[in-house]
Structure 1
Amino acid sequence: MVGIDHRIRALLVATVILAQPAMGGESEPARYESALAEWRADRVASLKGPDGWLNLAGLYWLKGGANSFGAAAGNDLVAPEGSAPPRLGDFVVDNGMVTFKTEPGVEVFHGELPVTDMLLTDDQDGEPTLLTHGSLAWTVIRRMDRLGVRLRDYDHPAIAAFEGIESYPADPDWRIVARFEAYPEPRKIRLATVVQGLGWEPTVPGTLEFEARGQSLSLEAYRSHDGFFIVFADGTTGDTTYPAGRYLAANLPGPDGTTILDFNRAYNPPCVFSEFATCPLATPRNRLPVAVEAGEKYAEKPDSP
């Protein structure tokens, strides 16, 4: 996928919680708003956490053979100034596999173990191998036929500067029962991403059919690890919400063939928070002809002086 399955799993936990019966005499609307507020707080904590999007410091695409890495300008992969020694080492690409070779005299770690020469697992083969140097951490990502390096800085100034996410007020009318309609056979489609020339090909098992604002609506659902992942646009897109669309997670349908689409939990793509993300974009098929005034908003940041 696009390196987001573990985040979708976390988002699906909230769906399970919201589907449980009310406890302790709390009214359903109050319980719903409380659970939504908790989900939003967890969302911010996730963005600021070690695996969040705010600490991304670089995205580099690898060529075959050796790719030098460090802060010196002559490297193939140039780390942010002041974050690393002139040369940290080399990423060596051979037959679709990536090995990291540490520069002599430099300390690079995998967990607590020093690394001199290590074959790296990318993010499409389970948990990617994480290497660190000081506050820097990096993993290998695979997007279609391209291999890249995702660099994080755990001391990134964007973490401290983050002021949260503006959202629409909770609206229970946008928590909607949807009927899953399976395709005769799951399909593969190609979505464009924010990276020019880079696509994403999810599996599409079918559509989610629902009613909203007096209209019959439909969204193609993409299969994630243990649920559905949806990329959609609507009448707010490019106005009060992000121009490339928003994302939504949903559980697989129950025995009655339905699931819940809670647009109050529609969330911004990671490219809202970092230029180093590879966000898939909404297709024309998934552009809703209504304004979904629910979920996260987007306000373009003013240019720095």
Structure 2
Amino acid sequence: MTINDAPTPTAVDPWPEYDEEWRRWHRRHEEARADPHGFLAVTGLHWLTSEPQRFPDVPGEWHTGEGGPVVALGGDEELTVDDQPVRGRHVFGPIAERGGVTVGIEGGVLEVARRGGHDILRPRHPDHPLRVAYRGTPTYPPSRRWVLSGRFVPFDDPRSTTVGAAVKGLKHVYDAPGRIEFAVDGVPLSLTAFDGHVPGSLSVLFTDATSGVTTYPANRSLTVGAPDEQGRVSLDFNRATNLPCAYTDFATCPLPPAENRLPIAVEAGEKSPYERLATDRS
């Protein structure tokens, strides 16, 4: 599958170097999203309990407990674990929160993970219609207006922060190292930040006045580079992206902390996916 139909907006500002770099970044982001085993390929979300159970799109009978997920494969059923075929009984061991392993199954892969204190299974098949029909995500045109300077203010100690999730009743807990202060048109604002994937970087989840209008209602995400020695950071809202829950109901994405609901319209970054808009209209 290709995403040749992905939108290629024209920049509002005559800012060719940034605009071209943004286009390259966005195309890489789209290609990763449409990976054969990415989130668009997820076909189910299964919650493991202490009671053994089978699922229609996953081989074996599964349960979990203090020792982590366990599968009992019968007959010709097979998994591929660390490139080796596995049959019979297999113990995965305890899985860390927000951790997981990926194993091979017929026609795809299976994610065995832990989210919100629960062990889950998520099969991924490249031929899933959501992935096959994906045509890119609409965006606002990149604009210099939304590349902002900010200041990271660390908390005395990281604050344990509990947030909701795309799945009703599920909770996520993160340690927040501090907040980012910035201003838009003279209006002072701040966002509680979590640790990013790259050591030293930060990640913020937020909603704003566009949420539920032109952007996905529940959340958007922004990665912020590591603060300098004076705590200065750059917030490029042109790179605000959707989380997997914007595309599929099989995601467990965290929601923003209450204080990250911005009162302004951040008309930058990714908009609601075409697929979600079609669902909302049906």
Scaled by the length of structure 1, the TM-score of the pair is 0.80
Partner of 1:106 in structure 2?
77
Gap regions ≥5 residues in structure 1: 1-27, 69-76
CA contact (8 A) 1:213 1:290 kept: no
How big is the alpha-carbon RMSD for the aligned residues of Structure 1 and Structure 2? 2.1
Tell me, in whole angstroms, the C-alpha distance in 1 between the residues paired with 2:114 and 2:246.
21
% of aligned pairs identical? 32
Tell me, in whole angstroms, the C-alpha distance in 2 between the residues paired with 1:122 and 1:152.
22
CA spacing shift, 1:126–1:216, aligned 2, 3 Å: closer
Instruction: Give 1:292 shift.
Output: 0.5
SS in 2 for 1:94: coil
Alignment deviations for residues 153-191 of structure 1 (CA, whole Å, 9 cap, x no partner) = 122122220110110011111111110001111101110
Partner of 1:296 in structure 2?
270
SS in 2 for 1:264: helix
Partner of 1:29 in structure 2?
15
Instruction: Give 1:255 shift.
Output: 1.5
Tell me, in whole angstroms, the C-alpha distance in 2 between the residues paired with 1:118 and 1:244.
37
Q: Which of residues 50, 53, 60 in structure 2 aligns to 1:64?
A: 50
Most deviating of 294-303 and 238-247: 294-303
Tell me, in whole angstroms, the C-alpha distance in 1 between the residues paired with 2:133 and 2:94.
30
CA contact (8 A) 1:122 1:142 kept: no
Tell me, in whole angstroms, the C-alpha distance in 2 between the residues paired with 1:121 and 1:48.
30
Partner of 2:172 in structure 1?
200
Instruction: Give 1:238 shift.
Output: 1.0
Aligned residues: 263
The residue type paired with residue 277 of structure 2 is: K
Tell me, in whole angstroms, the C-alpha distance in 2 between the residues paired with 1:272 and 1:139.
19
Gap regions ≥5 residues in structure 2: 1-13
Partner of 1:16 in structure 2?
none
Alignment deviations for residues 60-101 of structure 1 (CA, whole Å, 9 cap, x no partner) = 111114222xxxxxxxx232xxxx7xxx21223231411222
Partner of 1:38 in structure 2?
24
Task: Within 5 Å, give how 1:212-227 maps onto structure 2.
Answer: 212-225=184-197, 226=199, 227=201
Most deviating of 214-223 and 137-146: 137-146
Task: Within 5 Å, give how 1:68-107 maps onto structure 2.
Answer: 68=54, 77-79=55-57, 88-107=59-78
The residue type paired with residue 83 of structure 2 is: E
Task: Within 5 Å, give how 1:245-284 maps onto structure 2.
Answer: 245-284=219-258
Task: Within 5 Å, give how 1:119-130 maps onto structure 2.
Answer: 119-120=91-92, 124=96, 128-130=100-102
The structure 1 segments of at least 4 consecutive aligned residues displaced by more than 6 Å after TM superposition are none
Instruction: Give 1:111 shift.
Output: 4.7
Tell me, in whole angstroms, the C-alpha distance in 1 between the residues paired with 2:101 and 2:243.
24
Instruction: Give 1:104 shift.
Output: 2.0
Alignment deviations for residues 8-62 of structure 1 (CA, whole Å, 9 cap, x no partner) = xxxxxxxxxxxxxxxxxxxx93221111101110111011114421001011111
SS in 1 for 2:100: coil
The residue type paired with residue 73 of structure 2 is: T
CA contact (8 A) 2:159 2:176 kept: yes
Alignment deviations for residues 92-116 of structure 1 (CA, whole Å, 9 cap, x no partner) = 3231411222212223222531112
The residue type paired with residue 229 of structure 2 is: P
